[in-house]
Chains A and B, each alone.
Chain A
Amino acid sequence: MDKIKELKEQIESVFSEDLTLEKLNDLKIEYLGKKGLITGLNASIRDLPNEEKKEFGKNVNELRTLFNSKYEELKERLELEETNKRLESEKIDITLPATRLQVGAPNILEKVIEEVEELLMSMGYDVVDGPEIEEDKFNFEMLNIPKGHPARDAQDTFYIKDEEILLRSQTSPVQARTMLKGEGKTPIRMICPGKTYRRDDDDATHSHQFMQIEGLLIDKDISLSDLKGTFDVIAKKLFGDDCKTRFRPSYYQFTEPSVETDISCFVCKGKGCSLCKNTGWITVAGAGMVHPNVLRNGGYDPEVWSGFAFGFGAERLAMLKYGIDDIRVFYQTDLRETKAFDRKDVD
């Protein structure tokens, strides 16, 4: 029994010393290992008289429990200390710069075009494309602009071969091509955003290469009011829900009646400012009802079919939307500028 008492005191004293996790592990072997001090007591139980065996066994168990509880308590404390130390040592300066992960930016024009495409596709318009080197027939003749017509002079065209092959001066030839495909039977809803070319000297507001977004709808009983409604939807999507619209009489060879479409100035809200030249309105597109000759040339009987067409200048839309004042920005791709456009627009 003295042995037990002695061991008990020894345990108390050992655990009051400064211990490391390593030493603690050694202690466990020393006391509870195969040849451990407490384990060794079990061997001496055989030599005891039977009536003492029970009592002795109980005391040995108590001793084991005492050791274990002291051991677990200390182990937990030491491990926590160690963890804390490690965490402290792993501390970083979270204010240091991040690793740059970058997604590429769209060309600014493309961003605006995609916005229009997304909207009009949801309204049932297909997005189609056509050749940039085009035949005179599609670029002019089928659009009610015969050879020698003064309307050709204004669209100072890059001719490539005689007066037959040219760099398209507008995206409207895609109207003619789409109509021919429809064979006068299928209703048409399409837009065509694409590159166009005219003999303009490049400066802040002119570009020999520019992009148009052409739209065409042909069906039955289509009216100018339908064009107005469609334009309203586009204008509100691009320039906000409080955007007002108006039509002004205009003239295009391939539409009749023709209109110029204005939006209320989003800067001054119609009061008059430098952007809208004090008119309160900004012109954004040309449009009109498809000319009966154009329908006929495309194989659609004007007695049966009617439709409207519209054309936006992509550069103009982008310049208005983002306050850009030089058209060359779109074709220079200054990455410092372009990257600012790799984000969502405000709703």
Chain B
Amino acid sequence: MISLNWVKDYIDLEGLDLKELAVKVTKAGINVEKVVTNHIDNLVIGEVVECVNHPDSDHLHVCQVNIGDEVTQIVCGASNVREGIKVIVALPGAVLPDEFEIKKSKIRGVESNGMICALFELELEEKTEENYNKGIHELSSDAPVGEDPLKYLGLDDTLYELDVHKHRNNDCYYHIGFAYEIASILNKKVTLPSDSFNEIEENIDKHFSLKVETDKCPYYLAKMVTDIEIKESPDFIKKRLIAAGMRPINNVVDISNYVMLEYGQPMHFFDKDKLGDKIVVRDAREGEEIITLDEKERILKASDIVITDGEKSVCIAGVMGGLNTDVDENTKTILIESAIFDATSIRYTASHLGLRSEASIRYGKGLNYEYTEKAILRACHLLEKYANAKVLSGMVSHDKVDKEPKVVEFKARDINKLLGITIDTKDMEIELDRLDFKYTLKDDVFKVTIPNRRLDIDPNVNDIAEEIGRLYGYHNLVSTLPRVPLRKGVYVGDVKYRKLVSKRLRTLGLNECKTYTLVSPEMASSFKYDNKDNVVLPNPMSADKSVVRTSIIPSLINTYEYNKARKVNDILLYEISKVYDVNFNEELKVAILMKGSYMANAWQKALVKVDFYLVKGIIENILDYLGFKNRYTFEVANTIDLHPGMSANILVDREVVGIIGRIHPSVKKDDIYVAELSLTKLLDKKVKAIKYKELNKYPTITKDFAVIIDKDIHASDVMQVIKRAGGRTLTNVEVFDVYEGKNIDSGKKSIAFSLTFEDYTRTLTDEEVTDNFTKVIKDVENKYEATLRDN
């Protein structure tokens, strides 16, 4: 929250529409999320000129109130209302907080034209029992009747609620920093607040010594004040702290917060009498204990920084002070600390202690060393003024800050080239002046020194271009296209493969899924056919997302369940995703899950039901499409979580590239079929280019036969025997019938083959085909003790 009343201390905003200004600020890059104003229309200062009891009530009063141009009648229930006091009057039309609108009304038969208000009713005070009992707010007798009471009280303010990007949440989170931002937008100058004070002769050196034993504290300043008087803060400090969302406590504590909100520099005040005469800043010891201001015991780590009195720790640096040296109502002498600590270390400490305070947040973002000093002087100024403090002369310091200014050299042309605009050297000077960046210009070369308050700007031309660009206004950019050669982009590497397989599977009727890479340990342990160990997250968010999967199938089963629960019957799914093993080896896999009917027409009772052979067909289609025709086989396998009688390995060039089968009934009772292929393994294999092959001009001869063999003999094995026996002219073997049951002995099956013979160079004779065919039958009979079936 930024109070614009406060900003006005440093920059002249007289006569500006603050809502319009908010739009300008947003356009320039600091997002003003909300403009909050507490102005209320129809709220005036009134004087009670007559006050009598309500004829029909024991606590209501009927008042005649002078509101400047007229005297109006208002019924009021407050016990402290009386003739002669000046009050805050909400007239009809006024909308109080919580959308409470004041209207003309009759209260127990008496006309009332408004409401006399208490501060809590205007949300200027908390709604407490105590404030409620105070009754209506009485203004002092010099309050001007008819004027805006909030303005009179100095409570009319406009607040900006900022949503600042990380890089600017340093300088735009304190009022002086934000004033500079507004100044650059409006092209105005910033005036810093007074930090003058008187010093007494006594020097801090006599009372106090400093030693810094850690390199995590590059800058440490300390001043001492004495004879302070602890009391309530002046109104303006209280109001501003409230506006900024902080609770006023007493003048001393409030001043440290006030200065922090001015300069962004957090400070710590030690009770000097409790502290002693020494400060040693050092790394904490592992396990070191300290009781903090909130009376809680904190256990520190070696990476934390502590302020000590040479023996015991008195403060967790940058995070929270210790109870043993805190400022209380009896404190007379204060040691003021204004320092810079290592930002990363403070962030880590705040996070492991769970102590994110206004101070630790600011330390964590980094600080401008110039303001470390300005803030301590400003604090002395305010303590002298509002706590009657006597400031000791001298300052104790430790200074290892890198004060090397950040300087960048460039020409106007360099900026223009990056932004695609044309600003000449002269206009560039104007822009730099607006930013209040110091520079020299020689032979068209700018040499810019970046102000220390802008911690976010690095000394390179891009950073300057950004500053110039945002003030110039990105809405003024003209759209151009890069002047680059014309070309068509391509899918690189396995992306192309992924796309091809994906489109093919969609064409084959499967729907694409996306599921989570992180799965539960249970999911990760199923379908572990690869025998690969999983990556397990050391700090998962929850157990169900704690393991990196090696198979996609368990995730597809979840998607299946999700759809089944929603009464979807035919579920055809695939997903292509990368999986990783424990050694971070990457594998691109495609998984398929199918259940229900593949194609159906219910009223015709016609359907293609999903079964093993359909999924096998899908896999073969994919492999053929990728160029592996005649290079793949399916081998019986007993794969984990698959039905032992309906499970196979998929091999290409005799290497296992995937699995296929029905899900084991103990995993899922439904007849769900799945397959998974490693696209990475396929991608590694060479595929021949497509080449035109003329069709055979000579006739083909087809011969069929059926044999009765043992049930357990695999068709593919028999086909191997047939192919070997059939010789060169046997170009195709197909199974056209498989039969078990009537007329076939149990334990046997009949299987019928169709053989195609052809030669590309001549017409085959019946004789030679019959010879080959006879040999085929003989070999099959011998090998499998098969019986030829009569046709």
Contact = CB atoms under 8 A, between A and B. Distances in A.
Contacts of B512: 104-107, 110, 333, 338
Contact of B562 (A232, A293, A332): A332
A158 interface: yes
Interface string A129-159: 1011100000000000000101101100011
B518 A133 contact: no
B495 interface: yes
A190 B463 CA distance: 25
Interface in B154-203: 165-168
B481 A226 contact: yes
Interface in B454-495: 456, 458, 460-463, 465-466, 469-470, 474-475, 477-495
A249 B470 contact: yes
Interface string A105-137: 111011000000000111111111101110000
B168 A219 contact: no
25 contacts: A96-B603, A99-B601, A99-B604, A106-B502, A124-B486, A124-B487, A124-B488, A126-B492, A148-B344, A150-B343, A151-B166, A160-B537, A160-B548, A208-B541, A219-B484, A224-B477, A225-B480, A229-B482, A230-B481, A249-B469, A251-B456, A256-B463, A293-B460, A330-B514, A334-B562
A191 B492 CA distance: 10
> Which DSSP category, helix, strand, loop or mixed, fits chain A's interface?
mixed
A229 B466 contact: no
Interface stretch (A5-13, A15-23, A39-47, A195-203): A195-203
Contact of B466 (A103, A201, A233, A257): A257
B516 interface: yes
Contact of B537 (A101, A104, A158, A306): A158
Contacts of B517: 132, 167, 195, 197, 209
B535 interface: yes
Contacts of A98: 601
User: Which of A126, A330, A336 is packed against the most chain B CB atoms within 10 Å?
Assistant: A126
Given A249-B469, A257-B469, A334-B562, A224 B418 contact: yes
Contacts of A189: 484, 487, 489
Contacts of B540: 158
A103 B509 contact: yes
Nearest to B27: A248
Contacts of B293: none
Nearest to A308: B482
Interface in B498-522: 502, 505-518
Interface in A185-229: 187, 189-191, 195, 197, 199, 201, 208-209, 217, 219, 221-226, 228-229
B480 A246 contact: no
Contacts of B509: 102-104
Contact of B165 (A124, A208, A250): A250
Contact of A256 (B466, B484, B492, B566): B466
B418 A334 contact: no
Nearest to B567: A336
A247 B539 contact: no
A126 B602 CA distance: 46
A289 B475 CA distance: 16
A302 B511 CA distance: 46
A280 B542 CA distance: 39
B574 A228 contact: no
A161 B539 CA distance: 10
Nearest to B577: A195
Interface stretch (B81-89, B578-586, B625-633, B691-699): B578-586
Contacts of B420: 223-226, 228
Nearest to B572: A104
B511 A105 contact: yes
B494 A201 contact: no
Contacts of B601: 97-100
Contacts of A102: 509, 599
B61 to A, nearest CB: 45
Given A125-B489, A225-B479, 8 more contacts: A104-B574, A105-B512, A132-B580, A159-B538, A189-B487, A222-B482, A249-B27, A292-B462
B166 A133 contact: no
B419 interface: yes
